[in-house]
């Protein structure tokens, strides 16, 4: 067993036990966040059984994808999206978690016309308004979701959020509850959603307890990233 495969087994066991204790009894999937990790680490995790990988930076992702074409990886884009990157993102990823405005959604849709499966998308919600610029405000979410739902080459699957980092457990839970409320509100309005993408290495157990269906885990699986500051910007 390699270090990565050991960590993978531990994380999967932790996810399993958290989902059994969750009041929602939901199925939870692991997205391995491989930003700043070399292709060899991704290959190692894949061989150990992990098939979904998340990347934040397009150029970095494209170069690793080129190394790994022999594997059946399901690639998820989870980083901020500039409009000049939408063409390649729509062509090279199965999922995008970070759609937060209609213009980007329309461009992704238009770039997906020649692929038969729609691009699976989550809308990124800004639940910690102070410091984050990314994400749609909760009060603008319904309008964006309605518009995205009309785009034929996108399939709206749910919501994603990145809570502001906090050591305060009740603050953390509060932020997850806020996204879950947005998610439930959309479902009550008739949207068919099955994905709540919340929870990272430090807080995924708590996220699962609040209803997460995808947890995005990087450092707990691959180890610390070297240039962490730059990569989180």
Ligand X SMILES: *Cc1c(COP(=O)(O)O)cnc(C)c1O
Residues with Cβ within 8 Å of 37's Cβ and at least 6 positions away in sequence, in order, are 218, 222, 225
Widest pairwise Cα distance in the chain? 48
Total of chain residues touching ligand X, rule CB under 6 A? 13
Category of 216 on φ-ψ map: left (φ > 0), alpha (ψ -120 to 50) or beta: beta
- 219 near ligand X (CB under 6 A): yes
**Per CB under 6 A, 162 contacts ligand X:** yes
218 binds ligand X (CB under 6 A): yes
Tell the smallest beta-carbon distance from residue 127 to ligand X (Å). 13
- Give the H/E segment covering residue 1: none
| 217 is a site residue for ligand X (CB under 6 A) | yes
Q: Which is nearer to ligand X, 180 or 216 (CB)?
A: 216
Judged by CB under 6 A, the residue of 200, 207, 208, 214 near ligand X is 200
Q: What are the tokens at 27?
A: 């199925």
Could you say whether residue 87 binds ligand X (CB under 6 A)?
no
Q: What are φ and ψ of residue 223, in 5° steps?
A: 95, 170
Decide if residue 134 touches ligand X (CB under 6 A).
Answer: no
- Contacting residue, 11, 15, 33, 122, with ligand X by CB under 6 A: 33
14 binds ligand X (CB under 6 A): no
Cβ-in-10-Å burial (0-12, 13-18, 19+) of 103 comes to exposed
Q: Is 78 in the site for ligand X (CB under 6 A)?
A: yes
The span from the CA of 134 to the CA of 56, in Å, is 13
**Which 35-54 residues touch ligand X, going by CB under 6 A?**
35
Which residues of this chain interact with ligand X, rule CB under 6 A?
A: 33, 35, 56, 78, 162, 200-202, 216-220
């Amino acid at each position: 067993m390699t270090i990565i495969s050991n960590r993978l087994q531990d994380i999967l066991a932790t996810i399993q036990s958290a989902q059994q204790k969750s009041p929602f009894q939901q199925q939870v999937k692991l997205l391995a966040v491989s930003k700043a990790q070399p292709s060899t680490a991704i290959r190692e995790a894949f061989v150990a059984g992990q098939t979904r990988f998340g990347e934040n930076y397009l150029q970095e992702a494209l170069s690793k994808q080129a190394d790994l074409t022999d594997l059946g990886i399901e690639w998820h884009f989870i980083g901020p999206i500039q409009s000049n990157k939408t063409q390649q993102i729509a062509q090279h990823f199965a999922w995008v978690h970070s759609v937060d405005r209609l213009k980007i959604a329309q461009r992704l849709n238009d770039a997906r016309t020649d692929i038969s499966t729609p691009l699976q998308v989550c809308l990124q919600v800004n639940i910690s308004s102070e410091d984050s610029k990314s994400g749609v405000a909760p009060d603008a979410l319904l309008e964006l979701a309605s518009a995205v739902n009309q785009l034929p080459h996108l399939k709206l699957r749910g919501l994603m959020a990145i809570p502001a980092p906090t050591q305060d457990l009740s603050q953390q839970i509060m932020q997850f509850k806020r996204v879950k409320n947005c998610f439930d509100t959309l479902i009550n309005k008739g949207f068919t959603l099955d994905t709540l993408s919340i929870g990272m290495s430090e807080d995924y157990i708590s996220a699962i307890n609040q209803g997460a269906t995808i947890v995005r885990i990087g450092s707990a699986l691959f180890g610390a990233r070297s240039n962490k500051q730059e990569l989180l910007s």
